[in-house]
């Protein structure tokens, strides 16, 4: 099994986009972009860019190892500059549903797959005024397919004291505000606090309720202002404060 590239190969690869495949079922479970030996770092269980060692991706890798098998590494496209690789990665993430990627790909929030009505809604929507409250915005890529509250409330890498300052949490998909919640309690992401999940050290979630109608009217269906939608930003969490 190849677990590293030589310097001469790295020089020719430049930036590349890769897939990790589960040999037990042939399923692509992660898509990434990088250079050097980035593609092999996951199998070594190196933490993600945010320091997370408890992601679904790493859990899958551990299961594959426990079965006595090796993750398959596929270089999907190479010889690119960084910006081009970002665009290829984003398109590929959308092509493989059910990935363990925490973020939806650089640019997918605003420039990913949408039908014509969504395009019109996004570009004709008014910007939300976020100055009235302390707001956390959470990008939920599949907001129309899943329960918004469950998709939004856990589990995120945030400092609890920062999260507890928020008056409202907005569920955001493709730049539009799809849900507005008032958190009542922030807790560590453990089975004791959230039955049915595995313990995820370093992550938190909230209990809360749908915001009152007058608050929803302020935000629902409006667009997140451009200052909070920096292109290429992978973190799904944004703060107004």
Q: So what's the pLDDT on residue 2? A: 86
Domain positions in the chain are: 7-104, 111-239
Taking residues 151-178, what's their average pLDDT? 93
Range 158-176 average pLDDT: 94
Helices (H), 115-182: 116-124, 148-153, 160-163
Distance from C-alpha of 59 to C-alpha of 197, rounded to nearest angstrom: 13
pLDDT bucket at 112, cuts 50 / 70 / 90:
low
Quote the tokens at residue 99. 């990935």
Q: Would the pLDDT of 51 be above 70?
A: no
Average pLDDT over the chain reads 86
DSSP-based three-state secondary structure for 189: coil
pLDDT digits (tens, 9 = 90+) for 88-103: 998 888 888 778 775 5
The DSSP output letter for 229 is -
Q: What is the mean pLDDT of residues 38-66?
A: 77
Give the pLDDT confidence score for residue 107 in this predicted structure.
Answer: 45
Residue 114's contacts (CB-CB under 8 Å, 6 or more residues apart) are 122, 174
Average the pLDDT over 147-153 and give the result. 91
* Model pTM score: 0.61
Fold of 7-104: GIY-YIG endonuclease (3.40.1440)
| Residue 42 scores a pLDDT above 70 | yes
If you average pLDDT over residues 158-167, what whole number do you get? 96
């Amino acid at each position: 099994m190849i677990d590293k590239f030589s310097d001469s190969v790295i020089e020719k690869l430049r930036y590349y986009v890769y897939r990790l495949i589960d040999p037990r079922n042939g399923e692509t479970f992660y898509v990434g972009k990088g250079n050097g030996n980035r593609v092999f770092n996951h199998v070594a269980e190196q933490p993600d860019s945010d320091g997370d060692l408890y992601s679904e991706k790493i859990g899958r890798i551990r299961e594959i190892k426990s079965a006595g098998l090796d993750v398959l590494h596929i270089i999907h496209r190479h010889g690119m500059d960084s910006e081009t690789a970002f665009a290829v990665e984003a398109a590929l993430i959308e092509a493989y549903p059910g990935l363990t990627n925490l973020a939806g790909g650089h640019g997918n929030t605003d420039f990913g797959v949408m039908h014509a009505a969504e395009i019109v809604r996004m570009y004709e929507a008014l910007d939300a005024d976020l100055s009235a409250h302390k707001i956390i915005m959470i990008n939920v890529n599949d907001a129309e397919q899943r329960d918004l509250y469950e998709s939004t409330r856990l589990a995120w890498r945030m400092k609890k004291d920062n999260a507890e300052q928020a008056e409202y949490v907005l569920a955001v998909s493709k730049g539009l505000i799809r849900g507005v919640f008032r958190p009542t309690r922030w807790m560590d992401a453990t089975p004791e606090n959230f039955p049915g999940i595995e313990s995820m050290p370093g992550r938190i979630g909230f209990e809360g309720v749908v915001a009152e109608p007058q608050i929803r009217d302020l935000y629902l269906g409006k667009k997140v202002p451009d200052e909070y939608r920096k292109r290429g930003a992978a973190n799904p969490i944004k703060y107004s404060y």
